[in-house]
Structure 1
Amino acid sequence: MEEIRRVAAAYYEHLPAKDKKSLRGTFKAMDKNRDGKISLLEYLDYFKKKNGTDFTHQSICRALDMNVNGSLDFEEAIVLFYIMESGRTIICMSCKTFMAGVYFSCSQCFFNVASRRSFDICCDCYGGKKFTHHSDAIFCDNFSLLSQSRSLALEASAEKRSRVVEGCNWMLGVANLAVSAGCIIM
């Protein structure tokens, strides 16, 4: 989790002032009793109202609570905002806990364009064989999948790579507009 905290802090430092102000506004909206902290109840209420079901796992809030005081201060919430923006909300399909670090994905599910989600599991569940999935599944860690994805993209024709890059740039543009407008993407 410490690596994600460092990435989130660096990400926040490079945000324009208007985006930082927007995140402060989102923090205040979550902090219903205005005590400068987001309790677990405030956290869950906020995401239930926003239909942010990916964020209603209590393990996410607990993982974010660095000082283990049962609530999130703004610095801890910066990590939450980064996770929301980056799409880094990954829950183990077996034990249902938030995965902050390295995890394993079924490569067939990951690269299957017809599949809506990949099958992701934490290192403990993978190493301990505490999961059930199709019998011919080939699992790779998230770094390996990223490397494989890049290799596949580089092998594609220039036209196909260009379309993928355009699509990625469009998605990043939408995410930046949402942040600028004070919205948080879920």
Structure 2
Amino acid sequence: MERLRAIADAHYRASPPAVKALAYDFFKALDADGDGKVSLVEFLEFMKLEGYTRLSSPHFFRDLDRDRNGTLDFWEVLTLYYIIKSGRPLCDCCGILIPGTFFSCVECFDGPGGSYSLCIYCYRSNRSSHNHGGRQQFLDTYTLLETKKRFSSGRGRGERPSEDKKLICMTMDHSHQAGVLRRRRLPSFLQQEL
């Protein structure tokens, strides 16, 4: 959470006054009684009312409460604002907020049903049963975004030519050992004319 606090603080301090005003308005919306702090009750009511039900928990409130005084001040709410605005995911297996690197299902990433994300711990322990045709295909955030950027711009970086336009990527196949390299047709953003 500390890294997210630092990122939220950096974004806020580098923002123009209009964006800072939006962050302050968000804080005021949470502070229903106007006393300059957000209680657990105010937090839970606001989060449910605004549709952030997955983030609406006393445990998450305590994670945000840096000084452990039982309320959230502006800077603690600023972290929440950043988490919401940046689209930080919750692990679709265990439900925790993923503050750093995570793994996304390649098949679901741009799909109509939304992405499917796993924290490092759930991915490593193979806790999720999420699959497509018996296969799980996850990439970490950095690899997924870099791959998408490279292939959407049409510039591969020294990839070997492939006669069938397939890429090799790490997949999990329930009918084979975990971590076996397999050839598999990938979503269009991961394919390119080679």
Q: TM-score range by the shorter chain?
A: 0.7 to 0.9
Residue in 2 that maps onto 1:55 = 55
Residue in 2 that maps onto 1:126 = 123
Residue 110 of structure 1: SS of its match in structure 2? coil
Residue in 1 that maps onto 2:102 = 103
Shift of 1:57: 4.4
Deviation track 1:82-136 (CA, whole Å, cap 9, x = no partner) reads 1222222x1111111111111111112214x3x3211111111111222211231
The higher radius of gyration belongs to: 2
Query: Is 1:150 aligned to residue 149 of structure 2?
Result: yes
Shift of 1:58: 4.4
Gaps of at least 5 residues in structure 1 are 157-186
Deviation track 1:147-167 (CA, whole Å, cap 9, x = no partner) reads 1111122118xxxxxxxxxxx
Identity of aligned residues (%): 35
Question: What is the CA RMSD across the aligned residues, in angstroms?
Answer: 2.0
Residue in 1 that maps onto 2:8 = 8
Query: What code does the residue aligned with 1:121 have?
Result: L
Residue 32 of structure 1: SS of its match in structure 2? coil
Residue 7 of structure 2: SS of its match in structure 1? helix
Question: Aligned pair count?
Answer: 153
Residue in 2 that maps onto 1:87 = 87
Conserved? CA contact 2:26–2:81, under 8 Å: no
Q: Which has the higher helix share?
A: 1
Structure 2 length normalisation: TM-score? 0.70
Q: 1:25 and 1:40 mapped to 2: Cα distance?
A: 18
Residue in 1 that maps onto 2:171 = none
Query: What code does the residue aligned with 2:28 have?
Result: K
Structure 1 length normalisation: TM-score? 0.72
- Say if 1:79 and 1:137 are closer, same or farther in 2 by CA, change over 3 A: same
- Say if 1:119 and 1:151 are closer, same or farther in 2 by CA, change over 3 A: same
Q: 1:4 and 1:20 mapped to 2: Cα distance?
A: 17
Shift of 1:8: 0.9
- 115-124 or 32-41, larger mean C-alpha shift: 32-41
Answer 1 or 2: higher relative contact order, Cα 8 Å, separation at least 6: 1
- Say if 1:59 and 1:101 are closer, same or farther in 2 by CA, change over 3 A: farther
Query: What code does the residue aligned with 2:78 have?
Result: I
Deviation track 1:11-32 (CA, whole Å, cap 9, x = no partner) reads 1012222332332232122112
Residue in 2 that maps onto 1:43 = 43
Gaps of at least 5 residues in structure 2 are 156-194
Query: What code does the residue aligned with 1:104 have?
Result: F
